[in-house]
């Protein structure tokens, strides 16, 4: 296991850590003791700078820069599973944002790094960053300042409502280009969040596209004192504080992969890893093709937020084309589900490569790898509205307004707390968390989504 930071961080809960820094301890832990002492897995604290795979049985190597070594190590491998995630700042060259630590060498060395005085590869550096942002929010609250949250998806809504609860003196506004909050989620959830924010005094501006360089944008949302450069200077001269937070989109950070495996399109300007239906890394698909040629010998898999998230293209007006795998939200559940699928396929791939395939087919299991699917958990969204309210959406898919709001208010808030606590416990390799979440990814049937009715595919109809 290689990671550029020394700690695990539960990203869905990090928003609250910025308004309640003590919460960070419940979301994080150092990786080395868990991996090496409890799991028996070798942990390398460093950044993968390059991944190379020779054709056929060619040598497969990863060039790794360890955190405390001036030289680059070369590590050979038989199989690799890429679980590198993504960043959340689509307007920044390196995706810099509060929601994911700045840990890559290119981003750290860049002049555009907004917090070069902090090294977030260390857990103490990450904690220091959280404390600094908390202090900024406290000063804004003391000055009864204004904050603009850009993006009313579930991240933007959560961030605005967390600030409103813990810093009530701040005047909050939220803006989005869509006509309502929560983007493609069901109307009931959007209305619930809309009503909550209205009751909390958060100004909402929809069908309004973010244009930071245009005065007309700030005039439209009646916040002309916090936006354009000339106004910004005037306000700072009056010692009035202001701040804006961009909570939209994602950006790829697959700097270690060759260009032929990365997409030219996609969120944040592309750079996502192409994969096939078996989650193997591929080259860019040829025009008219849905899947590209397998990269190397097919021994490298990409799962979760680092991959392209879909296979194929949207259907054309004439009915041609179409998805082989529709776009999957970049949230935690699909990443974990794909990791399970990749492990299953890796075992099958190894079995077919090193054993007699006819013997395997007749006696010991599948003769081919199993295609992944759009997981049912990709349609689950738990959106916090401060610490005492939330709404939970189930069975959403890639179609707008799909899904159902099945839980809300205190029960949904408690549900999200239970999810967070047990998930971190599972990541620590503790018994209770493992028992709970093992069955989430080993369900006896798929109630919705794109998977077979029986995940083990033992049914002949599958």
In a domain, 155, yes or no: yes
Instruction: Inform me whether the pLDDT recorded for 194 exceeds 70.
Output: yes
Instruction: Inform me whether the pLDDT recorded for 254 exceeds 60.
Output: yes
Decide if 274 contacts 308 (C-beta within 8 A).
yes
- Find the domain containing 151 and state its range: 87-246
Mean pLDDT of 301-306: 95
Among 41-50, 56-65, 156-165, 226-235, which is the least confidently predicted range?
Answer: 226-235
Tokens of residue 227, six digits? 């936006």
In a domain, 209, yes or no: yes
Enumerate residues 6+ apart whose C-beta is below 8 A from 115. 102, 129, 132
Q: How many domains does the chain have?
A: 1
In a domain, 53, yes or no: no
Q: Distance between CA atoms of 76 and 59, rounded to whole angstroms?
A: 7
- Give the Cβ contact number of residue 298 at 10 Å: 19
Q: Distance between CA atoms of 418 and 12, rounded to whole angstroms?
A: 13
> Residue 56 has what pLDDT?
62
Instruction: Inform me whether the pLDDT recorded for 234 exceeds 70.
Output: no
Q: What is the pLDDT of residues 155-167, one digit of tens each?
A: 999 999 999 999 9
In a domain, 260, yes or no: no
The total number of residues shown for the chain amounts to 462
In a domain, 102, yes or no: yes
Q: Distance between CA atoms of 316 and 288, rounded to whole angstroms?
A: 12
- Stretch (H or E) spanning 46: strand 44-53
CATH code for the domain of 235: 3.50.50.60
pTM listed for this prediction: 0.88
Mean pLDDT of 100-125: 93
In a domain, 437, yes or no: no
Question: Band of the pLDDT at 128, cuts 50, 70, 90?
Answer: very high
């Amino acid at each position: 296991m290689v990671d550029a930071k020394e700690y695990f961080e539960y990203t869905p809960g990090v928003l609250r850590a910025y308004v309640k820094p003590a919460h960070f301890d419940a979301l994080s832990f150092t990786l080395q003791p868990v991996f090496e002492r409890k799991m028996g897995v070798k942990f390398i604290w460093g950044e993968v700078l390059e991944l190379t795979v020779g054709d056929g049985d060619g040598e497969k190597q990863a060039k790794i820069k360890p955190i405390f070594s001036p030289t680059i190590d070369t590590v050979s491998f038989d199989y690799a599973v890429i679980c590198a995630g993504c960043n959340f700042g689509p307007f920044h060259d390196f995706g810099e944002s509060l929601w994911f630590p700045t840990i890559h060498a290119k981003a750290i060395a860049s002049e555009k790094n907004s917090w070069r005085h902090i090294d977030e590869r260390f857990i103490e550096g990450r904690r220091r960053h959280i404390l600094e942002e908390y202090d900024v929010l406290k000063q804004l609250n003391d000055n009864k300042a204004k904050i603009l949250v850009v993006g009313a998806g579930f991240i933007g809504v959560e961030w605005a409502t967390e600030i409103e609860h813990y810093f009530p003196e701040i005047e909050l506004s939220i803006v989005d280009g869509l006509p309502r909050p929560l983007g493609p989620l069901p109307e009931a959830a959007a209305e619930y969040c809309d009503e909550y924010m209205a009751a909390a005094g958060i100004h909402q501006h929809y069908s309004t596209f973010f244009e930071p360089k245009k005065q007309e944008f700030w005039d439209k949302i009646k916040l002309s004192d916090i936006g354009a450069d000339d106004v910004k200077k005037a306000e700072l001269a009056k010692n009035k504080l202001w701040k804006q937070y961009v909570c939209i989109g994602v950006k790829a950070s697959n700097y270690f992969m060759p260009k032929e495996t990365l997409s030219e399109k996609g969120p944040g300007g592309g750079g996502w890893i192409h994969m096939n239906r078996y989650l193997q890394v591929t080259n860019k698909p040829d025009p008219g093709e849905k899947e590209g040629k397998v990269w190397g010998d097919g021994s490298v898999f990409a799962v979760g937020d680092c991959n392209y998230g879909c296979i194929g293209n949207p259907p054309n007006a004439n009915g041609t084309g179409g998805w082989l795998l529709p776009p999957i939200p970049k949230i935690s559940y699909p990443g974990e589900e794909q990791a399970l699928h990749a492990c299953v396929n890796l075992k099958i791939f190894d079995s077919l490569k090193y054993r007699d395939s006819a013997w395997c087919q007749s006696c010991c299991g599948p003769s081919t790898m199993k295609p992944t699917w759009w997981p049912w958990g990709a349609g689950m969204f738990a959106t916090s509205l401060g610490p005492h309210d939330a709404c939970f959406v189930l069975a959403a898919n890639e179609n707008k307004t799909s899904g159902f709001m099945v839980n809300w208010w205190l029960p949904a808030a408690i549900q999200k707390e239970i999810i967070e606590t047990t998930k971190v416990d599972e990541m620590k390799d503790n018994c209770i968390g493992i028992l709970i979440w093992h069955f989430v990814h080993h369900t006896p049937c798929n109630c919705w989504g794109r998977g077979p009715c029986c995940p083990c595919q033992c049914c002949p109809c599958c």
